[in-house]
């Protein structure tokens, strides 16, 4: 199994048809078919289900495709890095971010890269933090924003800041400056992220340590939908300021400080220790760290990049 076979195989899966794959690869269909047969013979498993409608991957084929995407991407990154050494950074950099971070980070990060590395193309993936950690290790991501509540072995880690978690309710639920103790959280039907999200682990761990049994009404794997449900009076949620600051400014939600004890989350930027960093990845991470540190320290990002305007 070599690079060419993996490239052909990935193109076949993406095209869903041998003829279209051959056209995209600019080779004869018979050559593509031959490579697919040789690959299946070498591995001793069926990789494709063939029909008149085209081809689909078997379970083994889907697994190989996931590995092939990672390998081909790393191969292309290595080529670009060697060719561009000493030149202006360019190429794609894949960054994974939790949904709560996206409203604060994406636009300022694009502005940062436009100034510092205009030829670097960011590929931003928003997902639950458990998936981000898995994809970072597998090579689908170059860097990710994670929480310190997760297992972070094998990663280069930089702490970006610490945020307090708040109880978020409908617009008239809480007065400004209102405080809710951890024990009082049992009164509120909660809408929280699913178990693949670091916030789920953080909230449940804090409740367990305090000896509190939470009233979990529903788990929703979408922060935007969680906030929407809260605005509609369906329940309450527990979020850091990044997740609701726009709605709070627009008076669409109200919040209470959680105390006795507080719940805090620590944001981490992470890359894989065993994988070399491209110049583009380094510049992207620098931007991420500047923006999120400014926000978590209570400051607003400015176009000048110094974060000196008070939030």
Kindly report, residue by residue over 27-79, the tens digit of the pLDDT: 988 888 898 998 899 999 999 998 888 889 999 988 898 888 878 777 776 77
192: pLDDT strictly greater than 80: yes
Q: Which of 67, 94, 93, 66 shows the shortest CA–CA distance to 81?
A: 93
The pTM for the full model equals: 0.67
Q: In this prediction, what percent of the chain has a pLDDT beyond 90?
A: 36
Predicted pLDDT at 212:
92
Distance from the first to the final alpha carbon of the chain: 55
User: CB count, 10 Å around CB of 222?
Assistant: 13
* Residues in CB range of 230: below 8 A, 6 or more apart: 168, 169, 170, 191, 236, 237, 253
* Residues in CB range of 7: below 8 A, 6 or more apart: 25, 68, 72
* Least-confidence region, from 55-59, 203-207, 305-309: 305-309
305: pLDDT strictly greater than 60: no
Mean pLDDT over 221-230 rounds to: 89
Residue 274 to residue 132: CA distance in whole angstroms = 17
- Whether residue 204 contacts residue 214, with contact meaning beta carbons closer than 8 Å, is answered with yes
Element holding 123 (H helix, E strand): strand 120-126
306: pLDDT strictly greater than 60: no
Residue keyed to tokens 């400051």 = 299
pLDDT digits over 240-259, tens only? 888 888 888 889 999 999 99
Q: Which of 123, 110, 122, 117 shows the shortest CA–CA distance to 87?
A: 117
Q: Which of 20, 9, 132 shows the shortest CA–CA distance to 63?
A: 9
310: pLDDT strictly greater than 50: no
Q: Which of 143, 147, 142 shows the shortest CA–CA distance to 130?
A: 147
Alpha helices in 85-170 (DSSP H): 102-116, 129-138
Q: Domains in the chain, ordered, with CATH?
A: 3-80 (1.10.10.10), 87-160+267-297 (3.40.190.10), 162-265 (3.40.190.290)
Predicted pLDDT at 179:
94
């Amino acid at each position: 199994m070599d690079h060419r076979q993996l490239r052909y195989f990935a193109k076949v899966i993406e095209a869903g048809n041998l003829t279209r794959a051959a056209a995209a690869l600019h080779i004869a269909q018979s050559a593509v078919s031959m490579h697919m047969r040789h690959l299946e013979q070498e591995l001793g498993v069926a990789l494709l289900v063939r029909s008149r409608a085209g081809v689909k991957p078997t379970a083994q084929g889907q697994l190989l495709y996931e590995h092939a995407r990672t390998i081909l991407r790393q191969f292309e990154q290595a080529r670009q890095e060697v060719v561009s050494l000493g030149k202006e950074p360019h190429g794609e950099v894949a960054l994974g971010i939790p949904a709560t971070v996206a409203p604060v980070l994406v636009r300022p990060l694009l502005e940062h890269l436009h100034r510092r590395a205009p030829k670097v193309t960011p590929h931003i993936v928003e997902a639950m933090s458990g998936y981000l950690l898995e994809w970072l290790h597998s090579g689908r991501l170059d860097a990710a924003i994670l929480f310190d509540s997760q297992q972070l072995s094998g990663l280069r880690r930089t702490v970006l800041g610490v945020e307090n978690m708040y109880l978020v309710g409908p617009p008239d639920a809480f007065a400004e400056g209102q405080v809710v103790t951890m024990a009082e959280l049992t009164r509120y039907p909660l809408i929280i992220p699913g178990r693949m999200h670091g916030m789920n682990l953080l909230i449940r761990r804090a409740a367990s340590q305090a000896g509190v049994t939470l009233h979990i009404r529903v788990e929703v794997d979408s922060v935007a939908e969680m906030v929407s449900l809260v605005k509609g009076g369906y329940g309450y949620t527990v979020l850091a300021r990044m997740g609701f600051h726009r709605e709070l400014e627009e008076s669409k939600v109200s919040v209470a400080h959680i105390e006795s004890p507080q719940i805090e989350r620590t944001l981490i930027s992470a890359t894989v220790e065993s994988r070399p960093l491209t110049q583009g990845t380094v510049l992207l991470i620098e931007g991420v760290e500047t923006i999120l540190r400014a926000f978590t320290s209570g400051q607003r990002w400015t176009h000048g990049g110094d974060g000196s305007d008070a939030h």
